Chains A and B, each alone.
Chain A
């Protein structure tokens, strides 16, 4: 064994174990301090980044993503806020919550909710929490109703809780007559009420929920059931439970890895090394994440649990080899140098491929996924670095006498263990039945292909919780009773007019003519004289001004100057001229035009016919409701009035209520933009995508009366967009990862053929696993998408170890058949151990309370175990069948690649 052949870094570590250990301890400690200090004392260490948690699915899109920018701008435009929804049902009462006792509690809860505000820690002048003025609850909304002969009423729907059952039922009756409330605040079945509590910031929803739960606890056993939901609540609760994940799963992963290592090596002093390594790497990586100002997100929270099993993989190879070799040499220094020498290249390459797999996530357009990929790649690099330095150093600390009875004493002992015997037998039988192995692989891939065609791309943040989680239950109950708690908004906007001033003035002159005739009929003195002047003046001014606004401004000035000097008998006519110009200005107020409102109303009818849409609300509903109240409450008056003036007067009547500002959630004060609030009973992305497609088709099939563009926003819609980007991005990442791994393998083996051979097992694995996803009907969601690309880099590791040892052993023993038993001894054992460690190492994710983590856990365990099996089955089978092609050049080379 030539000492100079070993890597200088390894040799240095073997010679200076203390300094290596110190370097590792101190650097890790420093990183931890840099992350911990600003988190604990943000004021003192304000130049450093503190720990920040981010649970917002919106951040799956980068902040400058157009859809997100538009979403935020539109929320601002229409003063829309994220909401906590409290649904109240009473299954024990035949009238549901419409009884005096329940309504009393609902009233009390509303009053309580108004008070859930506190000073903003960043700006104590400002109150944050629930936004009182936009709460939707029986006691704070108006009932616009017919109040007997010729009387219209604007009253609070429930100014105080009713004292009798009759009063309670009367409240229900009133509420059900108001489309904006029916299906939103009061369920269509008349049994449930939902309170909508808008928040100054959606990130406060967890605190608001906690406060509400405290109040609700007073009413245990009252028969009323309170369900709290809404996307912000789900997201915030998710954030809290994310920490449970880290607190439970990460230590559990440590424990599992420890137990596995104990089972493999039975030597506490030895296995403490990889345990330390796992700790160091995950802590240092998390510290780097925090120091660099990144957030703990659903993705990045999984970093420790990914790094821990990966970090110990190389150490397992080293220890396995050391275990086998030590007794041959009885010298720890010589043994470790030998082991490191022939493991160095495969370890380097497995590290590079794993890093490449994770780094391929940088190719997705999803920032949290990029961060996740990047930092695991960093963590894997750290793991490699400390593996080749600290592990040898650590072995040097163990006194030789303690290693006296360590490892395999004789060659025979190797074959006594169950795993050894099993592997040995497998090797033999694969050699004999190579053809059948490949036929079986082909069959599995055929089934997999069918499965892949069945894949259903879908996600839903509410379903990140288990079906028995209170949030899921609330979601289920409320969506059964109401028009849906998933909100999406459709913004409508007219196109800008392309008319020139001349075109406009000519059209306006036509309108002046028409107005002249109308006014003559009403008997306003001198109106024909005045309007003729107006007509002429319009023609005159049109050629001198730049645009329509300037024209109207000039005409206004003209009329004003006329009015100052005019005689009494002309005054009224000039007054009408001025009114005419004011009307001209209002022609741009698109969403006061009856035909536009009718179009919106028809669109809503169409939307309501879609399965997943519970209801929709718009300014058209406001107009129809008030118009009906004005016309004696007759059902046939539930329509859009015929003129824009009538619409305007209906709307101004509405604004005589307690909550005039409610109108501006549906239309802007200039009536140039409107929004349709669509309630969906499902938050599944595929359902939202379907609604989007149907609406697009509707606009194509039913052209609007004016040019009208439509664009979606709202959290439910945002989720669709990031999912689309995720799916497309993952395809790129997967392809990229594939190519990178192939190139690396080709370089490693200096042969494209061997490179291709190396990626066969993982291709089969990913193929079959995704086939299974399709077959079992599991939605292709965020975690599954992410895993495809990164698993390539991990699962190729087995092939690297297997093939590089295969080539070494083939060279040593002269033929593949002779090399096979040796390959299925220590190398296969190390691979099996690795597969078990990473596979089982990820299983603690199953203990996490959240579904995506469990999906990741099961999924990656399945991929890695299957990849291990596939490598050990398929690679020897192919080599057996294609031996002449694979070995013809290398057969006489004794060294590894």
Chain B
């Protein structure tokens, strides 16, 4: 009981009563975007539209499992390694293609790619995560998340609905942006809009959350887009059949299961 009171005293003033700190905002936002639940699954329909209005579609399933079994922000309890399994259904000619990502907090991610038609599993050197995710305007980093300690965060504005955070990279040479501005929703901590600025100071990339639903108590983005203002290309991802805490087996997230996809879990 005494512990609980101590805890309440600790939490209330900091996060609910008074305005949260920058650190807290970015952690909450990070947790909401990437770490909700112990694991999760979503069907994704991806529509890439180029500057001429030509569309390409992809359908995939994303499975995720977290190493940390907590969603608590306090003491960064939610933070930990993560594993992603990304399986392609369509286009038909890339059916059964799969990606496996092991995200680490203290070292570069491990990435594997399975190409069924070539019967080939390749490791992808992950030194740069800001490359296109299968030809879309999303980067790998947008799918698996960018480590918070790679940027400096600054609360530059608080509006009626949003905390506006300016994020500047600690290693400017490693990324193509000079900073990005995230509009984080005050209640859900979902980054509703993220704007990227290039080294000349021009806005060149916008990520948006276009739809949010409450699923199993978790505020969940069900439709998101990234637009590249330089190429005029835009990608929309629609998430369906989103489920959390389904009890995925950690063993699925291994190279072995790239060749032999866990079909039941991918449906």
Contact across chains for A646 and B134 when beta carbons are under 8 A apart: no
Interface residue? B50 (CB, 8 A): yes
A49 within 8 Å of B by Cβ?
no
Is there an interface contact between B131 and A657, defined as CB atoms closer than 8 Å?
Answer: yes
- How far, in angstroms, from A151 to B136 measured CA to CA in the complex? 22
Residue in B56, B231, B263 whose beta carbon sits within 8 Å of that of A669 in the complex: B56
Residue of B nearest to A641 (CB): B118
Interface residues in A142-182 (C-beta closer than 8 Å to B): 142, 147, 150-156, 159-160
Kindly identify which residue among A77, A132, A630 contacts B118, using a CB–CB cutoff of 8 Å: A630
Query: A586 within 8 Å of B by Cβ?
Result: yes
Binary per-residue interface labels of chain B (132-143) against chain A in the complex, 1 for a CB within 8 Å, 0 otherwise = 111110001000
Which residue, of B121, B122, B140, has the highest number of chain A Cβ atoms within 10 A?
B122
The verdict on B91 contacting chain A, using a C-beta distance below 8 Å, is yes
Contact residues, A296-345 vs B (CB, 8 A): none
Q: Give the interface size class of chain B.
A: 35 or more
Chain B proximity mask over A90-122: 1 for CB below 8 Å, otherwise 0: 000000000000000000000000110000000
- Closest-CB distance, B47 to chain A (whole angstroms): 12
Please determine whether A649 and B115 come into contact, CB atoms closer than 8 angstroms.
Answer: yes
Known contacts A572-B263, A582-B90, A652-B134; decide if A114 and B128 are in contact (CB<8 Å): no
Is A670 positioned at the interface, with any CB of B under 8 Å from its CB? yes
Is the pair A132, B230 in contact by a Cβ cutoff of 8 Å?
yes
Question: In the assembled complex, which residues on chain A have CB atoms less than 8 Å from the CB atom of B135?
Answer: 652, 655-656, 660, 663
CA gap between A511 and B89 in the complex, in Å: 21
In chain B, what residue has the closest Cβ to A134? B231
Q: List the B side residues contacting A147 at CB < 8 Å.
A: 125
Instruction: For the complex formed, measure the closest distance between the CB of B162 and the CB atoms of chain A, giving whole angstroms.
Output: 25
Q: Does B120 touch A at the CB level, under 8 Å?
A: yes
Q: Give the Cβ gap from B223 to chain A, nearest Cβ, in Å.
A: 22
Instruction: Number of A interface residues at 8 Å Cβ cutoff, please give it.
Output: 54
Contact among A114, A154, A641, A669 with B117 in the assembled complex (CB-CB below 8 Å): A641
Whether B230 lies near A152 (C-beta < 8 A) is: no
**Does B113 sit within 8 A of A, measured CB to CB?**
yes
* List of A residues within 8 angstroms of B220 by Cβ: none
Taking the nearest CB of chain B, how far is it from the CB of A650, in angstroms? 7
Tell me, in angstroms, the Cα distance from A644 to B117 when the chains sit together: 9
- Please pick, from B91, B124, B136, the residue contacting A582 in the complex, using a CB distance under 8 A: B91
Q: Residue A560 at the B interface, CB < 8 A?
A: no
Residue of A nearest to B113 (CB): A653
In chain A, what residue has the closest Cβ to B200? A115
Does B95 touch A at the CB level, under 8 Å? yes
Q: A114-B200, A159-B173 are in contact. Are A658 and B115 (CB under 8 A)?
A: no
Chain B residues lying within 8 Å of A152, measured Cβ to Cβ, are 113, 122-125
Q: Flag whether B94 is at the interface (Cβ < 8 A).
A: yes
Give the CA-CA distance A643 to B116 in the complex, in Å: 11
Which of A127, A150, A661 is in CB contact (< 8 Å) with B122? A150
Q: Beyond A661-B231, A668-B54, is A655–B132 a contact (Cβ under 8 Å)?
A: yes
The reply to whether the CB of A648 lies closer than 8 angstroms to some CB of chain B is: yes
Complex CA gap A155/B85 in Å reads 23
Q: Does A215 contact B (CB under 8 A)?
A: no
In the complex, A586→B230 CA distance in Å? 30
The reply to whether B118 and A661 contact each other, CB–CB distance below 8 Å, is no
Bound complex: CA A593 to CA B91 (Å): 15
A255 at the interface (CB under 8 A from B): no
CA distance A115 to B198 in the complex (A): 11
Q: Which residue of A lies closest to B230 (CB)?
A: A133
Chain B residues positioned under 8 Å from A114 (CB to CB): 200
Q: Report the bound CA distance from A823 to B118 in whole Å.
A: 93
Decide yes or no: A648 and B54 within 8 Å by CB, A579-B95, A657-B131, A661-B233 being known contacts. Answer: no
CB distance from A445 to the nearest CB of B (A): 59
Contact between chains at A650 and B118 (CB < 8 Å): yes
Q: Are A592 and B93 in contact (CB under 8 A)?
A: yes
Kindly list chain B residues whose C-beta atoms are within 8 Å of the C-beta of A583: 92-93
B97 interfacial contact with A, CB 8 Å: yes
Q: Quick check: A670 and B118 within 8 Å, CB to CB? A: no
- The reply on A571 being an interface residue by CB < 8 A is yes
B267 contacts which chain A residues (CB < 8 A)? 571
0/1 string, B22-50, CB within 8 A of A gives 1: 00000000000000000000000000001
Whether a CB of chain A sits under 8 angstroms from the CB of B127 is yes
Residues of B within 8 A of A668 (CB): 54
Report A-chain residues with C-beta under 8 Å of the C-beta of B123: 150-152
Interface centre among B128, B130, B202 (most CB of A within 10 A): B128
- Interface: B52 (CB within 8 A): yes
Could you list 4 further interchain pairs (A-B, Cβ under 8 angstroms) beyond the known A79-B52, A582-B92, A586-B93?
Answer: A115-B200, A151-B124, A650-B115, A669-B50
7 nearest A-B residue pairs (beta carbon): A655-B135, A582-B92, A648-B93, A645-B117, A646-B117, A660-B135, A660-B132
The 16 listed contacts between A and B (C-beta, < 8 Å) are A76-B52, A114-B200, A133-B231, A147-B125, A152-B113, A153-B125, A572-B263, A582-B92, A586-B92, A648-B117, A650-B115, A656-B140, A660-B136, A661-B50, A668-B54, A669-B54
